[in-house]
Structure 1
Amino acid sequence: MARVSRKNRADEILNNEIPSTEVSFEMTVYKTAIYARLSREDNLSDSDSIDNQIALIQNYIESRPYLQYEKTYTDNGFTGTDFDRPGWKSLLEDAKSGKINCIVVKDLSRLGRNYIETGEFLEKICPFFGIRFIAVVDNFDTETAESTAQLSVSLSNIVNDYYAKDISHKVSTALRNKMEHGEYIGNWEKYGYMKSAENKNQLIVNPETAPVVRMIYEWRRDGMSYMGINKKLNDLQIPSPGQYKADRGIVTNNNQKARKILWNKHIVTDILKDITYLGHLAQRKTAQCLYAGLPVHRAEEKDWIVAENTHEPIIEQTLFDAVQKINEEAAQKSKAAYGKYDHLPKAVNIYGKKFTCADCGAVIKLFRSFSTKKDKVYFTFKCPTFQEHGDRACKIKRIRKADLDAVVLESIKTQLALFVDMDATLKQLLKAKKAMLSDNSHAKEVRTVKAELVKKKTLFSGLYQDFREGILTQDDYASTREILVREIEKLEKQLSELTAAKKESTKQTQAEKELASLVKKYSKATEMTQELADAMIESMQLHDDNSVSITFRYMDEFKAVMESIEALRKEVA
């Protein structure tokens, strides 16, 4: 039998002169998210670092064309024993809105170490929202998992849960022993003290800050108010505990802002009642017990672990007792005075931590004030930083609650009305698009592209075999393969655009559905409520001209609808 010319064989392949067989190459592409988590219980090991987790998952995704990377979500320093983590919550919001439909983690322990909640997520939440979940190291994939695999997952979750609780029990026991023996186990030393260089669990007097503590106690004994002490410390430019740490290069959650950290009433009152300055230790004021199922909570005073005479005192007992007496009398006097207004209305700050100062970043607080005759009450939002420190720390800002509620409600209704107009426009354009696609030309074009794509993929699938059999040289194989890959990619893109256009004309976008439900629920609202604020507001800022800027939730959904409108206008023009 005559041998086929290698050159002619390559020409035949590129000219599609090989009979094709009908082959299906349809593949579901998943919008994929990476999730990485690291907590203190992982001991910050290099193998489990956030970067290493992400790198491992990226390599996994890149080798699988059906996984289309969308976004990375991380939680650094959050435990795996509950799901109350900012990165995870953001990921779930995007999953619920359809922005992603596949989650990839390094292993199941990154998802969580509580086997009940983890199992609930895998068995109920994933199927409900159509989420595919993959744990790379555990070789687990909800798309392919069978009953035996599910059992393996459950066992793995139980092991992870047991591991977390076992570590919790051991750590809790060790720390309790240290506290009962008078060892200081805090991350940072108490203001006025420093940790001994020889023993990190031993406090010694700090000659720089101890005199300040004594001065605070003496001022209080002499009748100075909390706010008076606070003001005097700042006037004397004595660094606050937070600023003192920052000046020494110690980074904490509270000192990472550019502005100076001032003394405040809370710091002063804490110092003026802390028995640490008598030479005693009161620890375990806040507690968490994973193995007993107790979340982080403030412990009652009777449950504190107190050890006496553990270090050198800064304040003698007589001075401490005198100050406590003054504190108690002041508290009773304040309570009695405030009780006079219990019959007047109170209000709740429905905006919470979403409402912040545009300058200092502090959460805006709701203040209650009274008329001269004490028969009327007023509610005003103010910057707490200015209220406590004046213009040395921030600018004056205030807005009446009634005015703010009216502005926010009107802005929300305007936003919803805008969507109603957009929705009407979108429906008209979709109707026009559907009319354009109703003839047979679109269906015919789809069939033609599909047939051409099948033909090219069939050629591609047999290309390597021809190379192995010597029909094609390595150079012919490489050049032909490159050409076929480009042509297949072009056809797939063309088919995707044609298919997307048809789908778009037959159903609403997910964004439109989300916003439509909000319109139905809130467009006729007559007052601001906690529910409405939670549903519609992402964040708010109060500026020095007392204006308010609002960032609404669902802005991505609004953008998606607007982009759909613009795209449709071009297509039907």
Structure 2
Amino acid sequence: MEANNQILYDADLYLRLSREDGDKAESESIAGQRDLLLSFLEKHPEIRLHSIRVDDGYSGVNFDRPDFIKMMESVKNKEINCIIVKDLSRLGRNFIETGKYVERLFPFMGVRFIAVNDGYDSAEPKKSSDNLLLPVKNLMNDAYCRDTSIKIRSQLAIKRKKGECIAPFAVYGYLKDPQNKNRLIVDEMAASVVQDIFKRKLDGYSAQAIADWLNEQDILSSIEYKRYLGSSFSSPFKRNAKSRWTAVSILRILKNPVYIGTLVQGKRSTPNYKIKKQMEVPRERWVTVENSHEPIVSRETFDNVAKILLADTRTSPKEDTVFFLSGLVYCGDCGRSMVRKNNASGAKPYYYYICSGYKQKTGCTSHSIRDQLLEEAVLCAVQEHIRSVLDVEETLQSIHNLPYTTQAVKKTDERLAAKREEIEKYQRRKLRLHEDYADGVISREDYRAFGKRYEDKIQEAEEAVFKLEQEIDRLANGNSGEQQWIAYFKEHQNIDHLNRKLAVELIDRVFVYTGQRIRIEFKFQAEYDRLAAFVNTLRQTRPSEQEVG
């Protein structure tokens, strides 16, 4: 590489740009770096251009960059012996790693390193100031990258707390709003598929059966649908040339609260700006914002599906759906789940439920119940419970029409009047206190102490008045404000059979005790018990027809 005693160098020009590092497109653009370095070469005939290496969009905090790796391969293969960059920050922003390359690796491998704007050239004699200047500049670049990372993390944290979606792609069922990339809007086509997935799960289908049905219908999987929309999307979950629906992808949708309008972000993050590997974040640090966007499924549907998933049910080998009471039947004695078994006699099946605790020999008795008997009993109990709920509603409607002279209302009204009188009493005392202070009868300290005491008494009385007014409103209006759950049962008042969807929507648990005694806990059981007691109290205090007349 020598001619006329002049050393010739074969050089790679290295260009890098990353918005993540806070680089500005105007001053640090790839084109600008290229022009500067080519202009530098024109003034140095001893340096011949080998290649221009470009890492556009790669951070400077680590050296895992495609073209940088290729450039170092050229160094190892003795193809080049010179590397030229615009400044030290283009090589890297990691203080330790950048210093290692510049001060140790490049000299060891016989590479001339030039940072044009920083005035650094390893082929020139070292000045005493270089020993201090080079580390300081590397340290400044590292600190700049760290500060930029902190600012970006802070901005992203603010966006998460405001309920803005910062993910690069919208989850299946939604699109990024063209007017606001941080806002999700419903994608009607994909949303209808999401609704079908939730509906079929409520109907008792397994996740695999739902996936098979979607594939049979030739409905694009979530990954393929993103590509159909034109997104440059890749996923580690893809296994085939064309991604298909799987049980995993179905469960991912069924468990995602984004479909009820709740945005959960910050589940994964990098430890710091130098480490790019994503790591799991503890659940307590997740950022959850409800009502951040329009829901696709109702909260009621989502909660019912969540309950099904927790039940840990499975389908029969020859069936696509689970039995409609699967995961809902428990032993009343030990509290463990009861399993459905088949004690076939010849070709005739005999299905029954038995305590899993007894099967595992954990001390429970061997009591069991035939599936047909249990299912008929549950149906009768559901029908009777619905009639009871409707009877409560009818009674509440009649109470709503009673005169205001109902004994319970009168009694509460008397308590309300007493509390209002109490407020007036303390207000009068407070007024006299002010007059005594103005006349010099009491000191400033006593005035403040007594005044604070009267203020507290007035506040307590006002809070009591507010609660009594609410109670009178409930008594006078039949507690109508807390009856919305009644409609939940009312829509099923004419049922003549149970299926998986109805069982999950109406029943919390079915308990089977020794002797085949059955107890059912219905949805909103506490609300029903409280309302039934309320109605019973009002019936006892209801005036006779003569009094009403």
User: Could you state the TM-score of these two structures normalised by the residue count of structure 1?
Assistant: 0.48
How do 1:5-16 and structure 2 match up within 5 A? none
Query: AA paired with 1:50?
Result: I
How do 1:115-126 and structure 2 match up within 5 A? 115-126=95-106
Aligned with 1:76 (options 36, 56, 74): 56
Q: 1:166 to 1:64 in 2, by over 3 A?
A: same
Shift of residue 261, structure 1, vs aligned partner: 4.8
- CA–CA distance in structure 2, aligned partners of residues 83 and 247 of structure 1: 34
- CA–CA distance in structure 1, aligned partners of residues 207 and 190 of structure 2: 19
Shift of residue 332, structure 1, vs aligned partner: 10
Q: What residue is the counterpart of 1:38 in the other structure?
A: 17
- CA–CA distance in structure 2, aligned partners of residues 107 and 156 of structure 1: 10
Deviations, residues 277-318 of structure 1 (Å, cap 9, x unaligned): 121111012213546978532323332211222222222334
Aligned with 1:102 (options 75, 82, 88): 82
Aligned with 1:113 (options 93, 99, 116): 93
SS at structure 2 position matched to 1:201: strand
160-169 or 228-237: which moved more?
Answer: 228-237
Query: AA paired with 1:172?
Result: R
Q: What residue is the counterpart of 1:405 in the other structure?
A: none
Query: AA paired with 2:217?
Result: L
1:246 aligns with 2:227: yes
Shift of residue 272, structure 1, vs aligned partner: 2.3
Q: Which has the higher contact order (CA 8 A, sep 6+)?
A: 1
- CA–CA distance in structure 2, aligned partners of residues 260 and 248 of structure 1: 18
- CA–CA distance in structure 1, aligned partners of residues 134 and 36 of structure 2: 20
Q: What residue is the counterpart of 1:206 in the other structure?
A: 187
How do 1:429-448 and structure 2 match up within 5 A? none
272-281 or 186-195: which moved more?
Answer: 186-195
- CA–CA distance in structure 2, aligned partners of residues 332 and 285 of structure 1: 29
- CA–CA distance in structure 2, aligned partners of residues 197 and 68 of structure 1: 48
| RMSD value, Cα | 3.2
239-248 or 213-222: which moved more?
Answer: 239-248
Shift of residue 253, structure 1, vs aligned partner: 4.9
Deviations, residues 227-256 of structure 1 (Å, cap 9, x unaligned): 44334333323233343333333334569x
**1:278–1:314: 8 Å Cα contact kept in structure 2?**
yes
**1:234–1:262: 8 Å Cα contact kept in structure 2?**
no
- CA–CA distance in structure 2, aligned partners of residues 79 and 294 of structure 1: 10
- CA–CA distance in structure 1, aligned partners of residues 115 and 196 of structure 2: 58
1:137 aligns with 2:117: yes
How do 1:432-471 and structure 2 match up within 5 A? none
- CA–CA distance in structure 1, aligned partners of residues 312 and 68 of structure 2: 45
Aligned with 1:272 (options 254, 277, 301): 254
Q: What residue is the counterpart of 1:284 in the other structure?
A: 266
How do 1:119-268 and structure 2 match up within 5 A? 119-144=99-124, 145-197=126-178, 199-253=180-234, 261-265=242-246, 266-268=248-250
**1:242–1:261: 8 Å Cα contact kept in structure 2?**
no
Q: 1:58 to 1:277 in 2, by over 3 A?
A: same
Q: What residue is the counterpart of 1:89 in the other structure?
A: 69
Query: AA paired with 1:60?
Result: F
Q: What residue is the counterpart of 1:308 in the other structure?
A: 290
Larger Rg: 2
Q: What residue is the counterpart of 1:373 in the other structure?
A: none
- CA–CA distance in structure 1, aligned partners of residues 31 and 208 of structure 2: 46
- CA–CA distance in structure 2, aligned partners of residues 230 and 72 of structure 1: 49
- CA–CA distance in structure 2, aligned partners of residues 172 and 132 of structure 1: 37
SS at structure 1 position matched to 2:12: strand
Shift of residue 45, structure 1, vs aligned partner: 0.8
SS at structure 1 position matched to 2:278: strand
SS at structure 1 position matched to 2:152: helix
**1:80–1:114: 8 Å Cα contact kept in structure 2?**
yes
Aligned with 1:321 (options 285, 303, 313): 303
**1:78–1:85: 8 Å Cα contact kept in structure 2?**
yes
Q: 1:243 to 1:161 in 2, by over 3 A?
A: same
| Structure 2 gap segments, 5+ residues each | 316-549
**1:243–1:260: 8 Å Cα contact kept in structure 2?**
no
SS at structure 1 position matched to 2:157: helix
- CA–CA distance in structure 2, aligned partners of residues 57 and 243 of structure 1: 43
| Structure 1 gap segments, 5+ residues each | 1-23, 334-573
Q: How many percent identity over aligned positions?
A: 37
- CA–CA distance in structure 2, aligned partners of residues 167 and 285 of structure 1: 22
- CA–CA distance in structure 2, aligned partners of residues 294 and 246 of structure 1: 26
**2:206–2:314: 8 Å Cα contact kept in structure 1?**
no
Deviations, residues 512-557 of structure 1 (Å, cap 9, x unaligned): xxxxxxxxxxxxxxxxxxxxxxxxxxxxxxxxxxxxxxxxxxxxxx
Q: Post-superposition, which runs of at least 4 consecutive aligned residues in structure 1 deviate over 4 A?
A: 291-295, 325-333
Q: What residue is the counterpart of 1:12 in the other structure?
A: none
1:67 aligns with 2:16: no
Deviations, residues 161-211 of structure 1 (Å, cap 9, x unaligned): 121111111111121122112222222222212334554433232222211
- CA–CA distance in structure 2, aligned partners of residues 331 and 62 of structure 1: 74
